[in-house]
Structure 1
């Protein structure tokens, strides 16, 4: 019977160990029966009898040796199973020959070997073993008929009391029984295999991860979805401790708790470190599994990746914050613009009505010019927080990216850094404000350059897929910590000594206003990758 809370290796070892012990038990019963018959009939101990007991002794020693090897931890293989079956065929044929040939009471042992082949191997192998048993049984018949080997003395009388026709009819029925056993045993094994295959097909088809462990907290099963989510190959995961395959950060492992407390765990969110070292949010539900006698067998866990859901929640939360800050900032900007306009008007009136020296007139003109600049900044900020885009129409993505690379190369990379771009032709067009999109991309490139104070390489890659264009900007800078990564798009959040904290907030606003999305992936000491997805036309 298949045990889902044992690994394939454990199940194979257990089956083969039980087979070897059952084999030793049967050999012992046969030896006791032969010894009893030898004593009760008062038969002499001839050479054939000595051979019979020697064969039984070899079979018994071999059975205990195999069981000991498997108990010591040797991994069973198909080659070992075939070796044991072949050894059994030879031993049973010798025992049959020594105990009366076709009339031997031990012919039924062939049936045990055929059933063992069905259990250890398959239907085809059981039919093959039945064929070998039949051929060996016929060989025993031939040796018996021609008197090449005499049975052991306790079995000689029974062997000589059978007529030739009866002997061949009896042989035919026994060979038929061999094949019938092979068919029924193989069919049963095949049906069990189909049931196991159906069970695995269901688990393999699940979109969520599924993991089972035994009482020793060793992983016994991991479905493909779980393998992809945890970045572990199934063959590498099975047999390892669950804390290695499913390491939980900061809180107790729910699978380990299910074994320790034998209590079901409600669905909850935890942080799990994948096989590639990245930590992701995971929703998991765990249940201990018990037998019909309430004996603990292990535990199973179903889990899903919550990364996209968390990102969506962050985007919604960020949008709410931007809306609130935008509304407040708009009011402040209006309050700033009015005094600035009054100052400008007053200074300009004074410069026109007073007789000023050239130096003083120049100072007045500077005040007017800076007031105009401040007014423009306030107007631009109000336009930003309003969320409106002045759609200039359609603009070519390739031309935009080429200009961004050229401007960045000229202004941000002056000999102490490099910028590489992979931009395929015919990426299509985007509908929106070209100047704003250029500003957003240059802002990202500038941040990447500033994250590499000692120089480095910055890559810009673009690719079109369906109705989308993907732009990836990756640097080799200092990276961003997980705590800071969650706030990179928050207005007024900055890690720079002189930063305003509006750069990436504006970038996010521009990208989302163009019905696109932007995501950041970063590791401290390795660099940052920013992925921008925009709808395209053509």
Structure 2
């Protein structure tokens, strides 16, 4: 059926950017819910009312003229009234009480009954001379709207045939120009109504398609905003919260349901003053912030966010709304610091290599000369003491230069498949035999087989340096845990760029690393241990960089330290070539 539809509004809550869900009763011949035509329920109800009025009117007309009316007319009008009442009540119960959408059979039955009713009324009131022949016009028009074009044409043809039959056989009247004009009017009304109805349906279908695309776009936009890791906040000119997505709640640590429609700017000023300042500047002066950095100070942690703001036009007479788009950039900042650290270490390594070569050969000559002087028979005790001191310090300086050369020569020379877990086990066994490893130290290896591609010698040095540092830092009753395996996706910092990573974690129960030392921990000659050279962790950093990995340190004073190293499980094609 054409012309529109009915909507049932469900009781489920609506989501952002989503209107109330509707369930349409799609009537036969209708493909739209957004039609400009009256709905089928409205048209059918109008048919019921018009039908009842006609039956009652014709019956009252016959009853009031009872004395002059023929008995057959009284009988016919009475039958028409009763039949109309029965059919109308049954039809109303079917469509409006039971809520059933009328099918084509139902519509045909209604149209046939209405044709019979109007023809009876026209016959009783004079046939071609009746003033009620115009009742055929709304009948044809409503049929053209409610039924498909072919069905409407069939009903129109039936109306014409029945009317001609009544003219010729019911009243024995020849075909006059008036009758021909009436038939032409019937056909014209049917054609025009059907054409207009089809055009309106087409427009409604186009509008419904556009509305559907808009609803889909809104749903997709809402879904994207709910799932992106970037926070979005919109406030009105008075600073009231209009919209926020889950990422914004997670980053700033507030709940939308607690602040929706309420002034939230004081809370932003408390959490992140720079964030509040960017929103305020945009609201007051229209200055859009681009990639502004703000510090968020929550009760559980402090971190950086990057903020961009923009304005949206509000209602007429109101100021602009301000939208802030922001994200946690602490991981990217951390990775940037790591890259800078790696670049500095590379520069230091090149300089160290040059200096070590320039110093080591003259130092060997000096040591040899001093030893010869010490062996001379004329050397007195003071001279022998001084020469032994020079030799001892020369040896220490030579060892330091050797470590410098080791630091500068950290390169991946032989990359092959290996098990990081086995490499860690071998390094732990070596550390247990080291003179600096306390006898009561407990080193535990956890995890399982961890296949990867790498330089076994460099990886062995990474593990041994980290484990030795851990037992030395923890001292007596050292408890060190080494774990290998595959990390969870959320454990790797965003933007690390390590494909298919494997992880090595070394945790100790030592005193922790002071903040001033932690910031420069991987630089050469930086150490928190008395007597340390400060090159062990620098070598670790260089070896990890050579494998295109990443090393992170987390330490809390009094609670120990954890070094976590991430390696790619396989080399890149261009590296393997």
- Range class of TM-score, shorter chain: 0.5 to 0.7
Written as runs of structure 1 = structure 2, the 5 A alignment for 1:518-537 is: 518-523=551-556, 526-536=559-569
Written as runs of structure 1 = structure 2, the 5 A alignment for 1:98-117 is: none
Aligned positions, number? 388
Written as runs of structure 1 = structure 2, the 5 A alignment for 1:131-280 is: 172=92, 196-204=218-226, 206=228, 208-214=230-236, 217=239, 219-226=241-248, 241=264, 248-249=271-272, 251-254=274-277, 256-257=279-280, 261=284, 263-273=286-296, 277-280=300-303
Q: What does residue 420 of structure 1 align with?
A: 444
Instruction: Determine if the alignment matches structure 1 residue 341 to structure 2 residue 364.
Output: yes
Distance in 2 between the 1:126 and 1:272 partners? 55
Rate the CA distance shift 1:196–1:169 in 2: closer, same or farther, 3 A: farther
Contact 2:513 2:561 in 1 (8 A): yes
Shift in Å, 1:211: 2.7
Distance in 2 between the 1:524 and 1:400 partners? 30
Distance in 2 between the 1:219 and 1:498 partners? 58
Q: Which moved further from structure 2: 252-261 or 528-537?
A: 252-261
Q: What does residue 11 of structure 1 align with?
A: none
Cα distance per residue 1:230-257 (max 9 Å; x no partner) = 5778778867846658965563524642
Q: What does residue 138 of structure 2 align with?
A: none
Shift in Å, 1:512: 1.3
Distance in 2 between the 1:234 and 1:462 partners? 41
1:438 to 460, 472, 494: 460
TM normalised by structure 2 equals: 0.52
Contact 1:400 1:438 in 2 (8 A): yes
Q: What does residue 535 of structure 2 align with?
A: 502
Shift in Å, 1:422: 1.1
Distance in 2 between the 1:438 and 1:175 partners? 83
Contact 1:290 1:296 in 2 (8 A): yes
Distance in 2 between the 1:123 and 1:395 partners? 61
Q: Which moved further from structure 2: 192-201 or 303-312?
A: 192-201
Distance in 2 between the 1:355 and 1:372 partners? 25
Q: What does residue 514 of structure 1 align with?
A: 547
Shift in Å, 1:379: 3.2
Contact 1:394 1:431 in 2 (8 A): yes
Distance in 2 between the 1:448 and 1:264 partners? 51
Cα distance per residue 1:380-401 (max 9 Å; x no partner) = 3134235445659776523321
Rate the CA distance shift 1:515–1:267 in 2: closer, same or farther, 3 A: same
Shift in Å, 1:533: 1.8
Q: What does residue 302 of structure 1 align with?
A: 325
Instruction: Determine if the alignment matches structure 1 residue 123 to structure 2 residue 147.
Output: no
Rate the CA distance shift 1:114–1:403 in 2: closer, same or farther, 3 A: closer
Distance in 1 between the 2:560 and 2:269 partners? 27
Shift in Å, 1:518: 1.2
Cα distance per residue 1:314-358 (max 9 Å; x no partner) = 233223322443444445434532442222221333355537899
Distance in 1 between the 2:341 and 2:254 partners? 34
SS in 2 for 1:295: coil
Distance in 2 between the 1:527 and 1:278 partners? 19
SS in 2 for 1:490: coil
Rate the CA distance shift 1:340–1:482 in 2: closer, same or farther, 3 A: closer
Distance in 1 between the 2:268 and 2:275 partners? 14
1:293 to 316, 324, 328: 316
Cα distance per residue 1:25-57 (max 9 Å; x no partner) = xxxxxxxxxxxxxxxxxxxxxxxxxxxxxxxxx
Written as runs of structure 1 = structure 2, the 5 A alignment for 1:372-383 is: 372-383=395-406
Distance in 2 between the 1:501 and 1:536 partners? 29
1:474 to 462, 487, 507: 507
Distance in 2 between the 1:527 and 1:494 partners? 16
TM normalised by structure 1 equals: 0.55
Shift in Å, 1:530: 2.0
1:488 to 512, 517, 521: 521
